[in-house]
């Protein structure tokens, strides 16, 4: 994962990140106004933290690949990023990964305290729901579509997705999972929200069934590719470049793709999932647009 990302991927990411960050700052400013004291400050701290915004970029690129062009899509992308932000705040808590560094800054519970960070996580879930509905209305989407978007996001964030995957991951600490077991954990923990981002973009654009099916496969493969690449970066990157504590997986004896396959084969596994993702689009005749450079970025990034 040492190749620099292509200029095309950086351009797609930068332009979407710029708009999503603007929206997240608006939401953060509203939180500071509406939620008094340290809790409002902590909500704003989490919302303003500078992530790569990969999930929003995939969502917007999928929307555009399916013919969508409404600027309100940025709000839907922000709603997915808010769910991701909540997951990072809770993942870093002492009861889970117990980490002090995230996105190059002190984690929310270190900058504030554990009860405040716990509340920040819970409160971000309804904030994400509100943002999703607000954006969908601005885009003029009908009730059925709004319901489908909400269902997709919160199923991915729940027990059949991210929470379920995290649960299995915590239970597996100190044990050695095999490849199918590890894949199940990561399909839930990381893959479900990434796949949901892609599908929310496609559903918002009103994509036909065959395109939705191809994007479902793309999202599922690229979600796994993302996690395999993440394992490689944890094993090979530095905390300074990653913005989070490197080498954490080995420290807590976590089952990872690197542990099972070694660094080089794990890199190949990430590339294989990336290829499968792009082939799914090609088979269905879906022009990938920004999805292709983003898919390659996901497996060649350095942070
Ligand atoms: C109650 C069991 C239970 C769970 C709560 C905390 C949680 C839900 C889930 C954890 C999900 C999680 C943090 C998965 C890791 C996904 C991952 C690889 C995150 C890093 O994503 P990047 O690289 O980060 O996109 P940035 O900082 O760029 O946004």
In a domain, 229, yes or no: yes
CA of 265 to the centre of ligand 1 (A): 24
Give a yes or no: residue 1 inside a domain. Answer: no
Average pLDDT for consecutive 10-residue bins of the chain (303 residues)? Answer: 70 95 98 97 98 98 98 98 98 96 98 98 98 98 98 98 97 92 97 98 98 98 98 97 94 92 97 98 98 97 95
Residue 102: phi and psi, rounded to 5, are: -150, 130
Q: Hey, CA dihedral for 88, 90, 92, 97, is it positive or negative?
A: negative
**Residue 244 lies inside a defined structural domain of this protein:** yes
Distance between CA 16 and CA 232 in Å, rounded? 26
Beta strand ranges found along 65-117 (DSSP E): 101-102, 105-106
Q: For residue 2, is it within any domain?
A: no
pLDDT the model gives residue 1: 46
Cα separation, 163 vs 115, in Å, equals: 19
Tell me whether residue 18 is in a domain. yes
Q: Decide if 211 is inside a domain.
A: yes
- State in Å: Cα 119 to ligand 1 middle: 17
Establish if 274 belongs to a structural domain: yes
Q: Where does the chain show beta strands of DSSP type E?
A: 101-102, 105-106
Q: Which ligand 1 atom sits nearest the alpha carbon of residue 243? A: 27
**Residue to mutate (ligand 1; options 159, 162, 242, 246; most atoms within 8 A of CB):** 162
Which residues line the pocket of ligand 1, CB cutoff 6 A?
Answer: 51-52, 54, 84, 87-88, 90-91, 96, 103, 162-163, 166-167, 189-190, 227, 230
Q: Residue 206: how many CA atoms within 13 Å on its side-chain side?
A: 10
CA of 285 to the centre of ligand 1 (A): 32
Nearest ligand 1 atom to alpha carbon 96: 6
| For ligand 1, atom 8: residue with the closest CA | 163
CATH number of the domain that residue 215 is part of: 1.10.600.10
By residue range, what is the domain housing residue 248? 7-297
């Amino acid at each position: 994962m040492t190749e620099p990302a292509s200029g095309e991927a950086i351009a797609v990411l930068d332009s979407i990140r710029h708009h999503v960050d603007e929206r997240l700052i608006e939401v953060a400013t509203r939180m500071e106004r509406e939620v008094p004291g340290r809790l409002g400050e902590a909500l704003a701290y989490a919302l303003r933290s500078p992530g790569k915004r990969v999930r929003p970029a995939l969502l917007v690129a999928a929307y555009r690949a399916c013919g969508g062009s409404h600027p309100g899509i940025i709000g839907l992308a922000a709603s997915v990023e808010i769910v991701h932000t909540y997951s990072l705040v809770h993942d870093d808590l002492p009861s889970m990964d117990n980490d002090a560094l995230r996105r190059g800054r002190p984690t929310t519970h270190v900058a504030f305290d554990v009860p405040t960070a716990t509340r920040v996580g819970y409160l971000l879930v309804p904030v994400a729901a509100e943002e999703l509905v607000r954006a969908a209305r601005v885009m003029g989407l009908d009730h059925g579509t709004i319901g489908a978007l909400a269902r997709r996001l919160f199923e991915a964030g729940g027990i059949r997705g991210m929470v379920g995957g995290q649960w299995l991951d915590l239970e597996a600490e100190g044990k050695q999972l095999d490849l199918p077991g590890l894949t199940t954990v990561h399909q839930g923990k990381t893959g479900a929200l990434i796949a949901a981002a892609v599908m929310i973009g496609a559903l918002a654009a009103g994509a036909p069934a065959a395109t939705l099916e191809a994007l479902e496969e793309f999202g599922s493969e690229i979600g796994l590719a993302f996690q395999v690449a993440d394992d490689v970066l944890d094993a090979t990157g530095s905390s300074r470049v990653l913005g989070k504590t490197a080498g954490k997986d080995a420290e807590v004896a976590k089952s990872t793709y690197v542990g099972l396959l070694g660094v080089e084969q794990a890199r190949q596994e990430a590339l294989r999932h990336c290829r499968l993702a792009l082939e799914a689009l090609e088979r269905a005749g879906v022009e990938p647009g920004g999805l292709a450079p983003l898919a390659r970025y996901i497996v060649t990034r350095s942070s």
